[in-house]
Amino acid sequence: MIEASAKGLVFATGVVSYLIYKRFEPSGVIASLMLLVVLPGVVLNTVRGQFPNIILAWTSVYFGYWLVLVSLTIGYRLSPFHPLALFPGPTLCKASKLWMVYKVAQGGSHQYHRALHKRYGDVVRTGPNELSFRHEGAIAPLYKDSKKGPYYDTRQTANVEQLDGIKDLTEYARRRKGWNRGMSMAALKGYEDMLRKVIVELTAALEKRQDEPLNLRLWLIYAAFDFMGEIVFTRNFNSVKTASDVTGMIHGIDDASSQLACIAQIPWTMPFLSFIQKVFGEQGSWKLLQKAATETVRKRVEDGTGKRDLFHYIMDGDDLEQVKPPLEEVASEGGLAIVAGSDTTAVTLSHVFYFLLCHPPCMERLHKEVGSQYPGATDTMSDFARHADMPYLNACVNEAMRLYPAVLTGSQRTINSGQGGAMLGPYYVPDGTNASVNLFSLQRDPRHFYPLPDEFWPDRWLTQDTYRLPTGDVISKEELIHDKSVFLPFATGIRSCVGKNLAILEMRAVLCALIQKFDFSVAPGYDLASWEREVRNIFITACGPLMVNVKSRY
Ligand code: HEM
């Protein structure tokens, strides 16, 4: 018979441990080992004599201790005493982030978030300490100067924080300088020839494959990836030329992002995973990605700083700063540029093509606009600035990004501590709460985009007195709701996308060149509707194939 004193000791230690977790939130490997393993071990040693055998002693003490800890944690999260108790949401979300890990692993977390907003309203408790907003009032207070949330704790390359993971704003400002220079108008002008080179390679490659169905999604990734190789490191990855993932990085990014998206839901596991990696060595796609990025950086450094690529600006090749950034830092930023700049543009372009294939009249109208700007086979890249003056082209890109922003569920921020909380629109949100504005829900909200909020209808972006709907009905501009203030595919505030202008330059140019050159049709046997079904939110967006046939127009 186990004595009451043993049960009491296990219970009391579990309570103490819970209070320590609640007050100090320790997440390091040592602290966690002490609290989760050593402390119950000490209890076990004390009460061991009260158990008939060691196995029963072990299981009773450890299981009992952990049960107390977990029950108190979940009990508090679900209780009316929790600071977020008044916010609605599913019990599983309130109890633990593990539910969201499951949803993210399934891929459709953007759909899940949207369904939650439809059910619970403009604010939903999506985690024990996390809120999701579908309210325009949350945008300015949240993104103006709040810190990045724990979601970004995963943003490290070889122990150096990447730009997008830095929480300290002074350090962030120092690191962003080089990026800003590398994305200035003058720098972008310098990248135009590199973009032209890749687009010429892409059109040539597609032209050669006119007799076979091809996965346009893949070709767009190859091109975006090659382009980033050119502008970041002055290196052609040759993915388009070889029609393959030569470096293995494209596959690595997808794999690593799938894993990171889950881990980022429970970033406190990071120290354990890093510890395991240190002990057993890095595995799989992580290792591959890291190795390929390091190798690329090494080659770029060997080549010197004469080339005015993004690497040049980030490593302060113009000697504008008193102290040059350390190489590991520059290498980490180079890796980030490749990841952040390739998949985002490629997936957005894929969405544009998907929607154009779904709406042949839109494809034809875009083709007409390109033809009117560049008759016949006139070079669409003779002046990149002209793309900005093509309303329908830009409407198509914007409309695709409205329906499928590349970062589907928006960026997480933490309400700065010590300021007594914040008002996010009409909602008071306590200090330390993690929150994000859910773009996939907000940008499809009929209160902000109407009519056809869920449909691809580029006309809404055009300035007109009347609008003809696809049904043939006509509405006046007064009937149109078009609230650009909630259109945030590149985020907003000080931490918004540094590559926005480059991305827009690239997407317009690729689209213009391909639409001018080719007729696109859905490949026989390919189920176009599968495209949207296979969109997965892994922070960046993962997609299935987009199978098309191309036919040269001239
Ligand atoms: C359609 C294309 C793109 C979209 C929709 C997009 C979207 C975004 C968004 C929403 C963020 C904020 C993420 C957050 O707060 O977590 C972001 C950040 C970032 N993007 Fe982009 N992006 C695109 C293309 C690019 C390109 C071409 C680059 C060039 C390298 C780039 C580089 C970055 C970087 C470095 C950050 C981190 C900025 C920071 O934390 O200061 N992006 N992007």
* Angle in degrees, CA 199, 203, 209, rounded to 5: 145
- Residue 496 CA to ligand 1 center (angstroms) comes to 7
pLDDT band with cut points at 50, 70 and 90 for residue 259: confident
Q: Is any atom of ligand 1 closer than 6 Å to the C-beta of 165?
A: no
Q: Is any atom of ligand 1 closer than 6 Å to the C-beta of 502?
A: yes
Annotation-wise, does 497 bind a ligand?
yes
Q: Which atom of ligand 1 is nearest to the CA of 506?
A: 27
DSSP, collapsed to helix, strand or coil, labels residue 51 as coil
Q: Is any atom of ligand 1 closer than 6 Å to the C-beta of 504?
A: no
- Residue 70 CA to ligand 1 center (angstroms) comes to 37
- Residue 245 CA to ligand 1 center (angstroms) comes to 22
Tell me the residue type at 162. Answer: Q
Q: Is any atom of ligand 1 closer than 6 Å to the C-beta of 135?
A: no
Q: Is any atom of ligand 1 closer than 6 Å to the C-beta of 293?
A: no
Q: Which atom of ligand 1 is nearest to the CA of 176?
A: 41
- Residue 256 is predicted with a pLDDT of 82
Arithmetic mean of pLDDT, 430-445:
96
Q: What are phi and psi of 448, to 5 degrees?
A: -115, -30
Q: Is any atom of ligand 1 closer than 6 Å to the C-beta of 347?
A: no
Q: Is any atom of ligand 1 closer than 6 Å to the C-beta of 497?
A: yes
Query: Is residue 305 within 8 Å of residue 272, measured between CB atoms?
Result: no
- Residue 503 CA to ligand 1 center (angstroms) comes to 9
Across 151-155, 386-390, 475-479, 492-496, least confident range:
151-155
- Residue 275 is predicted with a pLDDT of 64
Q: Is any atom of ligand 1 closer than 6 Å to the C-beta of 265?
A: no
Which of 340, 344, 345, 338 has its CA nearest to residue 228? 338
**Alpha-helical runs (H) found in 281-423:** 284-303, 310-314, 327-358, 360-373, 391-403
Identify the burial level of 466 via C-beta atoms within 10 angstroms of its C-beta, where 0-12 means exposed, 13-18 middle and 19 or more buried. exposed
- Residue 290 is predicted with a pLDDT of 67
* Angle in degrees, CA 360, 362, 366, rounded to 5: 115
Render pLDDT for 325-341 as a digit per residue (tens, 0 to 9).
888 888 888 888 988 99
Arithmetic mean of pLDDT, 447-469:
97
User: What does the alpha-carbon distance between residue 133 and residue 295 come to, in Å, rounded to a whole number?
Assistant: 41
Which of 77, 73, 76, 69 has its CA nearest to residue 13? 69
Q: What are phi and psi of 443, to 5 degrees?
A: -75, -5
Query: Is residue 111 within 8 Å of residue 532, measured between CB atoms?
Result: no
pLDDT at 520 over 90: yes
pLDDT at 274 over 90: no
- Residue 353 is predicted with a pLDDT of 98
- Residue 154 is predicted with a pLDDT of 78
pLDDT at 287 over 70: no
Q: What percent of the chain has pLDDT over 70?
A: 95
Which of 148, 146, 149, 337 has its CA nearest to residue 231? 337
- Residue of 143, 179, 344 to test ligand 1 pocket, by largest number of atoms within 8 Å of CB: 344
- Residue 162 is predicted with a pLDDT of 83
pLDDT at 158 over 70: no
pLDDT at 282 over 60: no
Render pLDDT for 99-129 as a digit per residue (tens, 0 to 9).
999 999 999 999 999 999 999 999 999 999 9
**CB count in 10 Å sphere of residue 393:** 22
Read off the pTM: 0.93
CA 57 centroid distance within chain: 46
Q: Is any atom of ligand 1 closer than 6 Å to the C-beta of 499?
A: yes
Which of 49, 55, 66 has its CA nearest to residue 14? 66
CA 174 centroid distance within chain: 23
- Residue 328 is predicted with a pLDDT of 82
Query: Is residue 40 within 8 Å of residue 65, measured between CB atoms?
Result: yes
The answer for residues whose C-beta is within 8 angstroms of residue 70's C-beta and 6 or more apart is none
- Residue 288 is predicted with a pLDDT of 67
pLDDT at 398 over 90: yes
Which residue's CA is the closest to the ligand 1 atom numbered 41? 495
Q: Which atom of ligand 1 is nearest to the CA of 496?
A: 12
Q: Is any atom of ligand 1 closer than 6 Å to the C-beta of 352?
A: no
Arithmetic mean of pLDDT, 287-305:
74
- Residue 348 is predicted with a pLDDT of 98
Query: Is residue 198 within 8 Å of residue 509, measured between CB atoms?
Result: no
- Residue 464 CA to ligand 1 center (angstroms) comes to 31
- Residue 387 CA to ligand 1 center (angstroms) comes to 21
Higher-confidence residue of 325 and 444: namely 444
Render pLDDT for 200-218 as a digit per residue (tens, 0 to 9).
999 999 999 998 999 999 9
pLDDT band with cut points at 50, 70 and 90 for residue 161: confident
Arithmetic mean of pLDDT, 288-309:
76
- Residue 445 is predicted with a pLDDT of 98
